[in-house]
């Protein structure tokens, strides 16, 4: 279920809710699936930095999977294209700039 598709609107809630959902539900729980969608589409990016310990690692991985699955193929190709790899070059330790 994707809140974006069904028009569900969430009010701000404590990120501790996420830990509770992951501690008290099975991996195939509908509540977990809803929570993953909510995190993928509705949580402000700043919340991940403000309260990192409130986000279960499994939930973050599932949220990333959801986002990759909905990403258009042309965007995936553009991101992984060789012509853009230079944007990610990192200077190795000891190399001169």
Residue ranges covered by each domain of the chain: 3-88
Separation of alpha carbons 92 and 97, rounded Å: 10
Please indicate whether residue 25 or residue 2 has the higher confidence score (pLDDT). Answer: 25
Separation of alpha carbons 84 and 45, rounded Å: 24
pLDDT band at 6 (very low <50, low <70, confident <90, very high): very low
Q: What would the pLDDT profile of 64-78 be if each residue is shown by its tens digit?
A: 888 888 877 776 666
């Amino acid at each position: 279920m994707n809140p974006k598709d069904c028009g569900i609107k969430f009010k701000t809630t404590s990120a501790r809710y996420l830990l509770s959902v992951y501690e008290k539900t099975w991996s195939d729980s509908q509540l977990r699936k809803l929570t993953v969608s909510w995190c993928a589409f509705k949580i402000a990016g700043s919340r991940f930095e403000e309260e990192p310990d409130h986000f279960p690692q499994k939930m973050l991985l599932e949220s990333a999977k959801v986002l990759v699955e909905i990403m258009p193929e042309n965007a995936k190709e553009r991101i992984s294209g060789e012509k853009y790899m230079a944007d990610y070059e990192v200077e190795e330790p000891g190399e001169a700039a």
